[in-house]
Structure 1
Amino acid sequence: MRFGVLGPLSVLTTDRREVRVPEQKIRLLLADLLAHGGRPVSTDRLVQDLWGDAPPVNPVGALQIKVSRLRRVLEDAEPGGRDLVVSLATGYALRTPPDAVDAERFEALVQRAGDAPEPRRRAALLCEALGLWRGAAFADFDDQAFLQPAITRLEERRLSAYEDRAEARLALAEHQALTGELGELVGRYPLRERLRASYMLALYRSGRQAEALAAYEELRRLLVEEMGLDPGAELVALHGAILRQDPALRLAPGPGAAPATTPAAAPTTTPGTTCPPRSAR
């Protein structure tokens, strides 16, 4: 059985049949257990998360009923499904097989990408990882306060993966193809300096020096207005290098790389290196 949290909550059988989890409280219980990644969740915590400040008269009994119904849904979908929900001395846990949760597959692919020595392989693995996302993490429960830490962590990892992939693709001379995708992401997350740096470099290598400098000035203004800060040293150094057209900013020729001094040329790519950009909402 497979579970999805990188978007609306989803449950699929091993043969990819969709499993309907009918009741909102049961879906919320499942989301809570999934957010803990197999770790135990106490009865008190689950009661608080499901009912907040208005618990039922018998909260422990009410929770047991919800757990029983969740087990029944999983068992009806696939024999043995009920055994995934484990009763513990102080609460419950959802114990899934390896790679059964899309967030775990995403993390594993990002880890593999980080260990890959070649930018083409890194880009391909990150493309696969980002392709697992169907929307915002826990999209149908984004108003639940107890899920915010998990949502924030996953969304940060997603943005870091976009940044990692952008840097890998820049190393492959895909700067022209990157400008649109990075422009969209920078518009959505304007204060992320690492993302801005990749955007500036992609613009510069595409022969758009003035736009690269304008992107820096926009960030500098936003940082001062919203946080009272200046850009970091690395971004300042990149800005200076673009101003003086430092030859070091050019991409060194190599396998799969097109010279950065020919912005009109189409970028060289290999199937599987890039993937259609997905919204990072």
Structure 2
Amino acid sequence: MRFGVLGEIAVWTPDGEPVAVPGLKVRALLADLLIHEGHPVSSDRLIEDLWGDRAPGNPLGALQAKVSQLRRALESGEAGGRALVESGDAGYRLRISPESVDAGRFAALLARSRAQREPVGRAAELTEALSLWRGSPYADFGDERFVRQAVERLDDQRLAALEELAEARLDLGEHHLLAGELADLVTRHPWRERLRAAHLRALYGSGRQREALSAYEQFRRQMRDELGIDPGQELAELHRAILRQDRALQRPAPPSSPVRTNLPAPLTWSVRRIDRA
């Protein structure tokens, strides 16, 4: 059975058929177990995460009922699925492999991309990894405290993957495409200097040196005005290289069989709160 957290919580059979997990609290329970990646979660922790300060009169019984509903849902998707939810002295855990969750698959592909020596291979692995994203992580519960740390970690990993994909595509000579695609990303994530550097390289490699220099100067002023600091050393060195038209910045010749690896389009995400009634 496969599980999805890179978007709304989802479950699929091994054949890819969706498995219904009815009830917002039951899906919240599943989300909580998935966050802990196979480690046990105490009953007290789960009760707090699902009901907060509005726990039912018999909270342990209510939790056990939700666990039973989750087991039935998983059993409906695959024979023996109920056994994936284990209970013990330390609490409940979901007994699954990391790559049975889309976030685990994403992490594995990201690691594989970093082992690739050639930009074509890196771009292909990163494109596959980013295609797993369906929206904001744990989108059903995005404003709940118990998912906050996991969401921040996954969002940061996605941005890192986007930066690495941009750099691989720069190595493939896709400067013209990236100059436009990265403009929106740097606006939405203004303080990520690695992303900013990729955009400057794309502009310069597209023959837009003046725009690259203007973009750097605007960013430098913004950092000073809002953060009271200057850009980091690597970005400052890139700026100087653009000023002197460093030959090292020249665009490489495109490969004979270019890889089409457009950056994923920006996603619009919606979230809902758990009904604590």
Superposition deviation, residue 99 in structure 1 = 2.0
Superposition deviation, residue 252 in structure 1 = 4.8
Q: Is the 8 A contact 2:29 2:46 kept in 1?
A: yes
Superposition deviation, residue 56 in structure 1 = 1.6
**C-alpha separation between the residues in 1 aligned to 2:160 and 2:224?**
24
Q: Is the 8 A contact 1:5 1:103 kept in 2?
A: yes
Partner secondary structure for residue 22 of structure 1: coil
**C-alpha separation between the residues in 1 aligned to 2:84 and 2:95?**
5
Q: Is the 8 A contact 2:173 2:252 kept in 1?
A: no
Q: Is the 8 A contact 1:174 1:269 kept in 2?
A: no
**C-alpha separation between the residues in 1 aligned to 2:239 and 2:189?**
19
> What corresponds to 1:264 in structure 2?
none
Question: Which residue identity does 2:102 align to in structure 1?
Answer: D
> What corresponds to 1:104 in structure 2?
104
> What corresponds to 1:84 in structure 2?
84
**C-alpha separation between the residues in 1 aligned to 2:97 and 2:246?**
51
Q: Deviations over 1:235-261 (max 9, x none)?
A: 0111111112122211355x71xxxxx
**C-alpha separation between the residues in 2 aligned to 1:174 and 1:74?**
45
Q: Is the 8 A contact 1:175 1:205 kept in 2?
A: yes
> What corresponds to 1:185 in structure 2?
185
Q: Is the 8 A contact 1:181 1:277 kept in 2?
A: no
**C-alpha separation between the residues in 2 aligned to 1:275 and 1:78?**
36
1:274 matched to 2:247? The reply is no
Q: Deviations over 1:17-67 (max 9, x none)?
A: 211111110010001111111111111111110011121222212111110
Q: Deviations over 1:96-140 (max 9, x none)?
A: 135211000000000000111111100100000000001111112
Runs of 4+ deviating beyond 3 Å? none
Unaligned runs of 5+ in 1: 257-267
Superposition deviation, residue 194 in structure 1 = 0.3
**C-alpha separation between the residues in 2 aligned to 1:222 and 1:36?**
39
1:50 matched to 2:50? The reply is yes
Q: Is the 8 A contact 1:87 1:93 kept in 2?
A: yes
**C-alpha separation between the residues in 1 aligned to 2:214 and 2:263?**
26
Superposition deviation, residue 167 in structure 1 = 0.8
Change (3 A) 1:6 1:63: same
Q: Is the 8 A contact 1:109 1:129 kept in 2?
A: yes
Superposition deviation, residue 78 in structure 1 = 1.5
Which residues in structure 2 correspond to 1:123-202 (within 5 Å)? 123-202=123-202
Question: Which residue identity does 2:198 align to in structure 1?
Answer: S
**C-alpha separation between the residues in 2 aligned to 1:224 and 1:280?**
30
Q: Deviations over 1:57-82 (max 9, x none)?
A: 22212111110110011112221110
Partner secondary structure for residue 11 of structure 2: strand
Partner secondary structure for residue 99 of structure 2: coil
**C-alpha separation between the residues in 2 aligned to 1:147 and 1:222?**
32
Cα RMSD of the aligned pairs, angstroms, is 1.5
Higher alpha-carbon deviation: 124-133 or 184-193: 184-193
Q: Percent identity?
A: 56
Unaligned runs of 5+ in 2: 269-277
Question: Which residue identity does 1:279 align to in structure 2?
Answer: P
> What corresponds to 1:262 in structure 2?
none
Partner secondary structure for residue 30 of structure 1: helix
Q: Is the 8 A contact 2:39 2:94 kept in 1?
A: yes
**C-alpha separation between the residues in 2 aligned to 1:35 and 1:99?**
14
> What corresponds to 1:263 in structure 2?
none
The number of aligned residues is 268
Superposition deviation, residue 280 in structure 1 = 5.5
